[in-house]
Amino acid sequence: MLQLTKRTEYGLLALVHLADREGAVASVREICERYPLPKRTVAEVLKDLQHAGLVDSTRGSSGGYTLARAPEQVTLGDVVRALEGAPPLTTCESPIVLKGGGCEVQPMCPIKSPIQRVRERLWQMLEHTTLRSLVSSGPHVSLGAPGAVESN
Amino acid sequence: MLQLTKRTEYGLLALVHLADREGAVASVREICERYPLPKRTVAEVLKDLQHAGLVDSTRGSSGGYTLARAPEQVTLGDVVRALEGAPPLTTCESPIVLKGGGCEVQPMCPIKSPIQRVRERLWQMLEHTTLRSLVSSGPHVSLGAPGAVESN
DNA sequence: TCCAAAGCGCACCCAAAAGGTGCTAATTGC
DNA sequence: GCAATTAGCACCTTTTGGGTGCGCTTTGGA
Ligand code: SF4
Ligand code: SF4
C-alpha cells in the first residue's frame, strides 16, 4: 500500500520531540506523556532508530535518547529506511535477491523502468524533507522552558 | 508500506496491453498469455478497473476489455485509486471518518500538515504519469501486427 | 548497598491486509 | 445448444503490521 506505517509516524513524532529537546535526553516515558502513544511500541521504534544510527541512547535511571545528528541532517527518507526496511516500491528491483527468482514478467516488462523513475522521484522527495522542516512548520505548540514543565 | 500492490502492477500491465491493442478488445486469457500472471486475479483487477470507469467490458464468447479513455487521459493515480482505494498515507486525514474517532495525537500533532504536503506532492506525481508515458518509454518489445501474432 | 528507572533483546500473539481460488451465474457469438 | 467470456460473491492462505510478555542489563541516587 502507498502509505506510511504507524511505526514511521511514531518515529517521526519521537524525533520531533528530540529535536525540541535540543540535545537533552528524552525518555520513552516522556515522549508518551506528551503524545498518547503505546509506550512499548515507541520503545521498539526508538531502538530501531538507534540501530540505524539516527539517535543515541543512554541507559540507566536517568537515561533516554538524543538526536545523533542535527535536525537538518535527518530526512524522512532516513526514517522510512530505518523503520520500513527496503524501499522497493515494486517486487522486482529490490536490492536483495528475493527467493523464488523474482518476477517472471521482468524480461518483457514494459512498466519496470517507468516505475523505477517514479520511485526515484519519490525518494528524492523523501530525502529532501528534513526533520528541521517538520519541526518548524506544523502547528506544533511550544513546550515550556526545556526541563521545567512536564507536569506528569 | 511505501509500495505498490501487485494488483496495481497487474492493472498497469493490463492497461498497457490494452493500449497496444488500440481499441481492439483483449480478453483476460490473452493478457495472461502475454504475461505470466495469475489469470483469476487479473480478471478480478480488470473488473475493478471496469467499475472505476477506466475500461469498458464486452461479455460473451468474443468479449473482453477495451480502454475507456485515451492513454493520455489515464494516470497512475487513477489506477492506484481504483485498485487500492483511499490514498491516506497517514491514518488521520483519510476522506472517510474512521471508526474509533481517529488519531488521538491530532490536536497536538506537529507532523500532520508537513506529511500532508508530502502526500500532495506524491499524488501530483502520480497524476502526471500517464499511461501513454508508460507505453512509450519502457523496453516494451513490440507486438506483431495487431491481431496477427499471439501464437498461443 | 539496594532499588527504581531506564534501555535491550527476543519471542510471541493478534488483527488486518494482500494475494489468490471455488463456484455459480449471466451474456453472446458460433 | 455449446463454448468462451465477463460478473459476483464468498472463502482461504500467507504476509505484514501493531502490540506485549518477560527477563536482563545499566546506572543514578536514596
Ligand atoms: S518486472 Fe515489471 S511486473 Fe515484475 S515486479 Fe518489476 S515492474 Fe512489476
Ligand atoms: S500522528 Fe499526526 S499525522 Fe499521524 S495520524 Fe495522527 S494527526 Fe495524522
Cell 506524491 -> residue: B122
Distance (Å) of CA B118 to CA A130, B1, B78, B124: 12, 15, 18, 10
Q: Which domain holds residue B116?
A: 6-138
pLDDT in tens, B18-39: 999 988 999 999 999 999 999 9
Question: Rounded to a whole number, what is the distance in Å from the CA of B42 to chain A's nearest CA?
Answer: 14
Question: Is residue A143, in this structure, part of any structural domain at all?
Answer: no
Q: Which ligand is nearest to the CA of A93?
A: 1
In tens digits, chain B (152 residues) has pLDDT values of 788 999 999 999 999 999 999 889 999 999 999 999 999 999 999 999 999 999 999 999 999 999 999 999 999 999 999 999 876 667 676 554 444 456 778 888 899 888 988 989 999 999 999 999 988 765 545 443 333 333 33
Question: Is residue B65, in this structure, part of any structural domain at all?
Answer: yes
Cell numbers describing residue B133: 508515458
Assess whether A84 (CB) lies less than 7 A from strand D. Answer: yes
Instruction: Round to a whole number and report the distance in Å from the CA of B60 to the C1' of C25.
Output: 13
CA of B115 to the centre of ligand 2 (A): 9
B48-52: list long-range contacts, CB under 8 Å, 24+ apart: B48/B7, B48/B11, B48/B82, B48/B83, B49/B11, B49/B14, B49/B15, B49/B79, B49/B82, B49/B83, B51/B82, B52/B78, B52/B81, B52/B82
Overall number of domains in chain B = 1
Question: Is residue A55, in this structure, part of any structural domain at all?
Answer: yes
- The CATH number covering residue A52 comes to 1.10.10.10
Task: Count Cβ atoms below 10 Å from residue B63 Cβ, excluding itself.
Answer: 11
∠ CA A133-A64-A61, nearest 5°, is 160
| Cβ-proximal residues to A123 (8 Å cutoff; 6+ apart), any chain | A77, A87
Question: Rounded to a whole number, what is the distance in Å from the CA of A101 to chain B's nearest CA?
Answer: 14
Question: Is residue A36, in this structure, part of any structural domain at all?
Answer: yes
Question: Is residue A144, in this structure, part of any structural domain at all?
Answer: no
Name B residues 3-32 whose Cβ lies under 7 Å from strand D: 27-29
Question: Is residue B120, in this structure, part of any structural domain at all?
Answer: yes
CA of A92 to the centre of ligand 1 (A): 5
pLDDT in tens, A42-101: 999 999 999 999 999 999 999 999 999 999 999 999 999 999 987 666 767 655 444 445
Question: Is residue B147, in this structure, part of any structural domain at all?
Answer: no
